Amino acid sequence: MSTQDLPAVRSSLATTSYPPEVASVRAARRFVVDVLSSSGLAPVADDAGLVVSELASNAVLHARSAFDVVVQRIDAGVRVSVRDASTTMPVLVAPSASAMSGRGLALVERLVARWGAGPSRGAGKSVWFEIDEHPASDPVPDVADLSVEQLLAAWSDEVGSDDPSRELVVPGPAAGSTREVVLPLIDAADLLSTKEHMDDVLRELQLVLLARADGADGADAADAADAAEPSAGDPARVSAAGLEVARRLDRAARDFDDVRRQVRHQVSRAVAAGEERVAVVLQLPPGTAERAQAYRDAVEAAERLTELDGTLLSVSRPSPLQRAVRRAYLDEVIAATRD
């Protein structure tokens, strides 16, 4: 879509900023709903509020910076932008019916008329969406019906343009001295299911940690978490041991994120293309074995604690197959990169 194809901005309705706190997710949603309801756009207010909850949640969890919400009136309806300090663009993957994080992105696809992301003046990036006041009669395509290119070329980390219609691509592996490792063939759907479950776990733990760091009480934390994910845990119920394990897993996952992103991208592409098995090719820098070992140990510690007291996670426990797939691919990474 070219810039001239985008609906013209008629007026700016409101702009506000939020700190990187869990409570900001709920506040941003209420802000957008209130602005649109008082501006004659009540029919699109609830949908816009749901979508901005997902974008605000991503800003809090991933950018971990203050973020702005900009609401504009366009000829067709409304445009809402969320701007944060991170230059890293989100990656749209092919979600299954059970992935909470996947459902969040599918929610955006189904509710908006147009959306995109790109670098922003005065911020790292801007993620925007538009909802038409009088939508066309044709339904928004289901995410399962989108092409591989639509699923995986939806985002980019290219810089130098504020054009919200700019086509975006998935970033490649991190630069630097790397070793190429090819994992043995594995069932693509099983690996995707394993990755999605782990993404759900990490997202819940991040919400728990941020809520506790903010000093949110149980009610506020549950309300904020509900705006971002339907089954996020209640921080008030998490034990001291649970918090320590959550911090350990959060650190380990961040240290291992470059590898996790490569796996997620390749397996999502394979599933979207209808491939039954996939041989993941990884570019791994020095020190990967130690980071993979720390990540595997932290995941298993979280699972053991959940089995003992049940307070750490509310998402379902991984199936025996998911555990086996995760351990197999991590063991391959560790063995291939151990010096």
Q: What are the sequence ranges of the domains in the chain?
A: 3-152, 179-337
Range of weakest confidence among 35-44, 45-54, 214-223: 214-223
- The Cα–Cα gap between 115 and 203 comes to 23
Give phi and psi for 48, each to the nearest 5: -65, -35
- The Cα–Cα gap between 45 and 116 comes to 20
pLDDT at 307: 79
pLDDT at 219: 41
- The Cα–Cα gap between 154 and 170 comes to 8
Q: How confident is the model at residue 37 (pLDDT cuts 50, 70, 90)?
A: very high
- Mean of pLDDT values over 93-109: 50
At 35, list the tokens. 């602005």
pLDDT at 6: 56
Among left, alpha and beta (phi > 0; psi -120 to 50; other), residue 160 is left
Tell me the pLDDT tens digit for each residue of 151-193: 333 333 322 333 333 333 333 444 458 889 999 999 988 998 8
User: How many CA atoms does the CB half-sphere of 189 hold within 13 Å?
Assistant: 6
Nearest-5° angle of CA 22, CA 297, CA 313? 35
The chain-wide mean pLDDT, for the chain, equals 74
Q: Residue 148, class by beta-carbon neighbours within 10 Å (0-12 exposed, 13-18 middle, 19+ buried)?
A: middle
- Mean of pLDDT values over 316-329: 89
* pLDDT at residue 229 greater than cutoff 80: no
- 148 close to 272: Cβ distance less than 8 angstroms: yes
* pLDDT at residue 79 greater than cutoff 90: yes
b/e per residue 79-91 (b: at least 16 CB within 10 A): bbbbbbbbeebbb
Q: How confident is the model at residue 69 (pLDDT cuts 50, 70, 90)?
A: very high
Q: What is the DSSP letter of 61?
A: I
Q: What order of strands is seen across the sheet that includes strand 77-84?
A: 9-18, 67-74, 77-84, 123-132, 114-120
Tell me the pLDDT tens digit for each residue of 184-218: 999 988 998 888 888 878 877 777 777 666 554 43
- Domain 3-152 coded CATH 3.90.470.20: no
pLDDT at 168: 31
pLDDT at 55: 85
